[in-house]
Amino acid sequence: MTAFEQVAHGCEIARGDSLQVLRELPSESCGMLLADPPYCSGGATRSDRKAGTSTKYQQSGSAPLSEFAGDARDERSFRLWSTLWMCEALRILEPGSSAVVFSDWRQLANTQDAVQAAGFVFRGIVVWVKPAARPQPNSFRNDAEFAVWATKGPIDRRPLPGARYLPGNYTYPPPKAKTRLHIAEKPVALLRDLMAIAPEGCTVLDPFMGSGSCGVACAETGRRFVGVEMTEHYYAVARDRLAAAWR
């Protein structure tokens, strides 16, 4: 069994392979999945795809950051792997819970397929607009990433008191290159906004927690957090960051 570390009351994290750790978590124990898995993209050829993550994704001028694991799958293996871990996530979620899974444009279709193959009900796509994206000549600006939204079964659409009406796109600049802690780090403010789809006080599951941004957002919104990270360096970064956020 994987040993979970309790950083604070309501915040538990574990280091290990996400698929293996998810298999050990109890059924119907979490109220939301918010996941930012490795995109396994960033290259047009096999050799490009297998390059280090800092080579594929890190911009010039940014502080040197450690590599992260699990980013070298081809499209078919990515879709199969995604389906496997999403099947476990479906089991872990309570009925009616939302799943929000990040993707870039290259893997968006595969992520949608995996969500539905795992048994979730596909609900739509949320867009993260990045206003400072770098332009390229003779090309459309690549200024967005995406989050596939799905649920475990039906959702209550009645306009009851306290109902949440949320936008379909959010505009936030990425964390500044010179200060961010992870190559693929997401803004905490964006994660806070996405968590609004789930009830306050619920447990949010993040199988790829990286530097712990999702856990920080949980601390700021009154939600519990369960996080998993494979890479030793980023696990240590997340643990220290979460300990500070959950004081």
Residue 194 covered by a domain: yes
pLDDT at 57: 46
Residue 68 covered by a domain: yes
Residue 116 covered by a domain: yes
pLDDT at 134: 82
Residue 200 covered by a domain: yes
- The CATH number of whichever domain residue 227 belongs to comes to 3.40.50.150
Per-residue pLDDT averaged across 1-28, rounded?
96
Per-residue pLDDT averaged across 85-107, rounded?
97
pLDDT digits (tens, 9 = 90+) for 29-84: 999 999 999 998 755 555 555 544 444 445 545 555 565 455 667 888 999 999 99
Q: What pTM was estimated for this model as a whole?
A: 0.87
Note down the domain range covering 207.
5-156+166-245
Residue 161 covered by a domain: no
pLDDT at 136: 85
Give the CA count within 13 Å in the CB-facing half-sphere of 67.
10
SS3 string, 21-49, reads HHHHCCCCCEEEEEECCCCCCCCCCHHHH
Give the CA count within 13 Å in the CB-facing half-sphere of 157.
4
Q: DSSP E strands: which ranges in the chain?
A: 5-8, 11-15, 30-35, 93-103, 121-129, 144-151, 169-171, 203-206, 224-229
* Radius of gyration, CA atoms only, the chain: 17
Confidence of residue 9 (pLDDT cuts 50, 70, 90): very high
109 pLDDT above the threshold of 50 = yes
Number of domains forming the structure of the chain = 1
Residue 45 covered by a domain: yes
pLDDT at 59: 55
pLDDT digits (tens, 9 = 90+) for 206-216: 999 999 999 99
Residue 20 covered by a domain: yes
pLDDT at 53: 45
pLDDT digits (tens, 9 = 90+) for 128-165: 999 988 888 999 988 999 999 999 999 878 776 677 78
Residue 219 covered by a domain: yes
pLDDT at 180: 85
pLDDT at 19: 96
| Residue from 124, 19, 143 nearest 69 by CA | 19
Give the CA count within 13 Å in the CB-facing half-sphere of 26.
5
